[in-house]
Amino acid sequence: MRIAIVDESTMRASIIEEGLGQLENAEIFTLTQRHGLLAAIERIAPDVVVIDLGNPSRDVLEEYFAVSRALSRPIAMFVDESDDASIAASIDAGVSAYVVDGLASHRIKPLLDLCIKRFHAFARLQSDLADAQGKLAERDHIDRAKRILMRSRGITEPEAYAELRRKAMSSNKRIAEIAEAVVTAHDLLEGD
């Protein structure tokens, strides 16, 4: 079975590719470039195409499939009603799939389930990443605020941190918020 993964996010594409690698007898092709997409699909002649819902090339791809129906290997949109629940789950996860006519449904379901799992894994990874980035930004603000206080008041680093914490507790805010306010005020006053 030849599977094409169409995804402009190279990170997500590789996560899906890794997941689908568990399937037996599957050959995986990853397409992350919009340019030349149809030519690549034509060359690969996939049995299954997996594409994310946010991909702007979906209408172009569906047009190609509509035209391909007249060819020897017609590709149908994967909306076999017998599997409606797993399709609904895939749409919820943010992925749609197209399969060649005649591919047995018992071969499609495990594939789709894997895709769904991988899409969810990617979404989790992204929110973890966003969290981590948020924490990094907070860390950075606290460090900068400490340095500002140390310089302007001639105090040590632990004293500067204690000062931030005291202010946070008295104003019922998080240390990161106080630090951000210090940094913003400093930037405004010092103009840097």
Partner 1 sequence: MADAKLTIGFLPLVDACLPILAHEHGFAADEGVALTFVRDVSWATVLDRLLYGHTDGAHMIAPLAIATTLGLGRPAQPLAAPFVLGLNGNAITLSKPLAAQVATPGDYGDPAAVGAQLREAAAAARAQGRRLRFGVVHRFSSHNYKLRYWLSACGIRPDHDVEIVTIAPPFVPDALASGEIDGSCVGEPWSSVCVERDVGTIVLATAQIWRRGVEKVLAVREPVLAEKAEAFAALIRAMRRAGRHFIDPANFAENARILASAPYLDADPALVLRAISDRLVLAHDAAPVHLPDLMFQHSEAANFPWMSQAAWLFSQMVRWGHTAFDSADAARAMRVFRPDVYRAALINTGDDLPNASSKVEGSVTQLTQVGAQQGTLTLSANRFFDGLTFDPDQIEAYLAALP
Give the footprint of partner 1 on this chain (CB under 8 A): 34, 53-63, 65-66, 76-77, 79-81, 87-88, 91-92, 96
**Minimum distance of partner 1 from residue 74's CB (angstroms):** 11
- 53 or 169: whose CB is closer to partner 1? 53
Output the smallest distance, CB 61 to partner 1, in A. Answer: 8
The answer to whether the CB of 20 falls within 8 A of the CB of 28 is: yes
Residue from 76, 80, 86 nearest 117 by CA? 86
Q: How far is it, in rounded angstroms, from Cα 32 to Cα 27? A: 17
Radius of gyration over every alpha carbon of the chain, rounded to an integer in angstroms: 26
Residue among 53 and 71 whose Cβ is closer to partner 1: 53
What are the beta bridge partners of residue 75? 100
Minimum CB separation of residue 78 from partner 1 in Å reads 9
> Closer CB to partner 1, residue 70 or residue 189?
70
Q: How many other CB atoms are found less than 10 A from the CB of residue 190?
A: 9
